């Protein structure tokens, strides 16, 4: 599988702290290899809209859809604790 994201995700990553960016790209590699990688803790977030959530680190999450053989990253945000 491959991963893609739009300009808005890139802009939010540019605004994120460097350690979050580094963690995001590490987690993205894990996602491309294995949706069920333990550090991702990937789960279906919105069943009706087929949106998934995965972990960047303790305080950040990313949301994505699975479209054919592509993970489409929708957003990267602080975890709303």
Domain boundaries, the chain: 2-78
Residue 41 has pLDDT above 90, yes or no: yes
Q: What is the mean pLDDT of residues 56-77?
A: 96
* pLDDT, tens digit (0-9, with 9 covering 90-100), for 8-26: 899 999 999 999 999 999 9
Q: In whole angstroms, what is the distance from residue 62 CA to residue 53 CA?
A: 6
Quote the pLDDT of residue 80: 73
Residue 81 has pLDDT above 90, yes or no: no
**Which parts of the chain fold into alpha helices (H)?**
7-15, 18-33
Taking each helix axis as running N to C, give the angle between helix 7-15 and helix 18-33, from 0 to 180 degrees, rounded to the nearest 10: 140
Residue 32 has pLDDT above 80, yes or no: yes
Task: For residue 14, give Cα distances in angstroms to 2, 52, 68, 69.
Answer: 21, 22, 28, 26
Quote the pLDDT of residue 57: 96
Quote the pLDDT of residue 73: 97
Best CATH choice for the domain 2-78 from the list 3.30.2310.20, 3.90.1300.10, 3.40.50.300, 3.90.550.10: 3.30.2310.20
């Amino acid at each position: 599988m491959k991963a893609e994201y739009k300009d808005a995700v890139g802009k939010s990553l540019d605004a994120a702290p460097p350690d979050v960016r580094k963690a995001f790209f590490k987690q993205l590699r894990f996602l491309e290899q294995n949706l069920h990688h333990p550090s991702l803790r990937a789960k279906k977030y919105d069943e009706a809209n087929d949106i998934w959530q995965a972990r960047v680190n303790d305080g950040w999450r990313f949301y994505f859809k699975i479209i054919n053989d592509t993970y489409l990253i929708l957003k990267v945000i602080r975890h709303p604790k």
